[in-house]
A and B are shown apart, each in its own frame.
Chain A
Amino acid sequence: MEIGVWVWALGTLPLAMGGGGGVALGPQPWLALPLGPAQFFLGFTDPPCALRAKLLSGPWFLWAEVPPRVALARAPGHALVALVRTESGFSLGWEIAEDPRLSLFGSLGAENALGVRLRHRQLWAALLVRTGGLFAWCGLYF
């Protein structure tokens, strides 16, 4: 999975679970547009576009994507957790916010990564370690 797709699929759970739109700027920038209960993804990635359909929007969150991916998520406490079936297998995406401004996030399983995110209102900036590389990302929720 490319890093831009990883950020979309497993690395921005507040956006995936909460809905709405978002922009992520990093090695492979992307844009997510809200379309009612769905989100349309456009990015400098392979593939360059994707569609996410929200099937359940809380407290169980369930979504299916094209290209094929399916996720089941929940907020058990102040952590967001999503079990995601990707093309490479099952991964557990997670984000834990001890403070509204700072959170740790990552994934375990078929896709492994770890990051730290700073958040100020709708803006965020993150450092992410994945497949031995360090990547800087920033973004905006809207």
Chain B
Amino acid sequence: MVWAVLLALLLAGGGWGWELTVVFTTDLHTSLVRLAKFRDVFRQADLVLDGGDAWEDTHRLTGEAEAWETMRRMGEYGYTAMVLGNHETYLGPRALGRILAETSFPVLATNLRAPLPTQPWALVERKGLRILILGVLWDLAVIWPGWELEEPYAALEEALAAVPPHDLFILLAHMNTDRAFDLVRRLSRKPALVVLGHDHQVYLEPRVVEGVPVVQAGSRGKALGIVRLGPEGVQHYEILKPAETLPLAIPSGTFGVLGLFALLALLWRG
């Protein structure tokens, strides 16, 4: 009888000797060339997560083409989910809506009410574990007409009261570090892992806030994080950096856009 119960627990995977490999990126800012270096690592992961700011780079004035290409490549690499970052909002509601409609993995925005195909949560199953993933953003986001951004804590508590049954909860957060730490402290139900983006920091070790590991892997594909999670928490943590940092591509459309505007302005002078 005892063996039958143990076997049932093992098969159910409900917290008995499980191990999950989570690979994560943060603040990619369309760094496709660098992302490609990690292709083999993605294949070995149970979950591939992104902490937001993947599809736009203001420094390089990237265009819609780079956003589309990054989204497609993330789909090819098997991303499980990402959270919307403030830079995704800079794409504008129409371009962002078009891209989101074609994205093959969930893009989470638990605290955003907008006519966009984002999701408040994602529930995935790996190794018999039902894993709930939520994602919130806050700092420096552009709130377009028709959008409403709820305070992350209230939105998360509201979502956690309504989500389906699950064994594990992972939070993707795109906001300032201090705000994220405070959010983790206040949450009534603690996540097993927080993937944090926005501040472009590389955490060589997880920051632990009230027992919750918070991880971040820098920006622009210069690093990638690997977490092995088990029933006791983080079993292994590693930040991978490629031997050489590849240069970022120059966006192709910028000069075309500027040229078109100059032409229109000259032709259409008042």
Q: Does A68 contact B (CB under 8 A)?
A: yes
CB of B84 to closest CB in A, whole Å? 14
Known: A58-B96, A60-B253, A69-B270. A18 touches B86 (CB 8 A): no
| A56 contacts the other chain (CB 8 A) | yes
Interface positions of A from 65 to 106, Cβ below 8 Å from B: 67-70, 72, 74-78, 80, 83, 85-90, 97, 100
Q: A19-B93, A75-B90, A122-B146 are in contact. Are A70 and B64 (CB under 8 A)?
A: no
B269: nearest chain-A partner, CB-CB: A85
Q: Which of B92, B96, B270 contacts A86 (CB 8 A)?
A: B270
Binary contact track B73-113/A, C-beta < 8 Å → 1, others 0: 00000000000001001111111100000000000000000
Query: Judging by beta carbons under 8 Å apart, are A58 and B95 in contact?
Result: yes
B-chain residues with CB within 8 Å of residue A18 when the two chains form the complex: 92-94, 144-146
Structural contact, A57 and B145, CB atoms closer than 8 A: no
Query: A58–B62 Cα gap in the complex (Å)?
Result: 10
Interface string of B238-270 (1 = CB under 8 A from A): 000000000000000110011011001100111
Interface size class of B (residues with CB under 8 A): 35 or more
Contacts of A11 in B (CB 8 A): none
CB distance from B112 to the nearest CB of A (A): 11
Contacts of A86 in B (CB 8 A): 270
- Counting chain B CB atoms within 10 Å of each CB, which of A59, A62, A72 scores highest? A59
A27 interfacial contact with B, CB 8 Å = no
Residue of A nearest to B62 (CB): A59
Using a Cβ cutoff of 8 Å, how many contacts connect chains A and B? Answer: 104
A70 CA to B265 CA, complexed, in Å:
6
Q: Is there an interface contact between A68 and B148, defined as CB atoms closer than 8 Å? A: no
Verify if B149 is at the interface (C-beta below 8 Å from A): yes
Cross-chain contact B90 with A59 (CB below 8 angstroms) = yes
Task: Decide if B270 touches A87 in the complex (CB within 8 Å).
Answer: yes
Q: How far is the CA of A53 from the CA of B91 in the complex (A)?
A: 18
Contacting residues, chain A, for B146 (C-beta < 8 A): 18, 20, 122, 141-142
Which among B61, B92, B93 has the highest number of chain A CB atoms within 10 Å?
A: B92
B43 to chain A, nearest CB (A): 31
Other-chain contact of B260, A58, A62, A68, A121 (Cβ < 8 Å): A62
How many chain-A residues does the 8 Å CB contact rule pick out?
Answer: 42
B47: min CB distance to chain A, Å: 29
In contact, B141 and A78 (Cβ under 8 angstroms): yes
Q: Could you say which of B142, B145, B254, B264 contacts A75, with CB atoms under 8 Å apart?
A: B142
Contact of A77 among B140, B148, B264, B270 (CB under 8 A): B140
How far apart sit A14 and B93, CA to CA, in the bound complex (Å)? 10
**Shortest CB distance A91–B (Å):** 11
Q: A60: which B residues are within 8 A, CB to CB?
A: 63-64, 253-254, 257
Q: Decide yes or no whether B56 CB sits under 8 A from chain A.
A: yes
**A141 contacts which chain B residues (CB < 8 A)?**
145-146
Q: Does A116 contact B (CB under 8 A)?
A: no
Q: With A and B bound together, what is the CA distance between A77 and B92 in angstroms?
A: 12
A38 within 8 A of B: no
Check: B175 CB closer than 8 A to any chain A CB. Answer: no
Which residue on chain B has the smallest CB distance to residue A71? Answer: B261
Give Cα distance in the complex from A83 to B64, angstroms: 19
- Is there a chain B Cβ closer than 8 Å to A17's Cβ? yes
Point out the residue from B91, B140, B143, B149 that lies within 8 Å of A58, measured CB to CB.
B91
A binding-site residues for B, Cβ under 8 Å? 14-15, 17-20, 22, 54-62, 64, 67-70, 72, 74-78, 80, 83, 85-90, 97, 100, 119, 121-122, 141-142
Give chain B's interface residues, CB within 8 Å of chain A.
Answer: 56, 58, 61-64, 67, 86, 89-96, 140-146, 148-149, 253-254, 257-258, 260-261, 264-265, 268-270
Q: With contacts A18-B145, A58-B64 known, what are 9 further pairs, Cβ within 8 A?
A: A59-B63, A59-B67, A61-B92, A64-B268, A68-B268, A76-B90, A85-B265, A88-B270, A141-B146
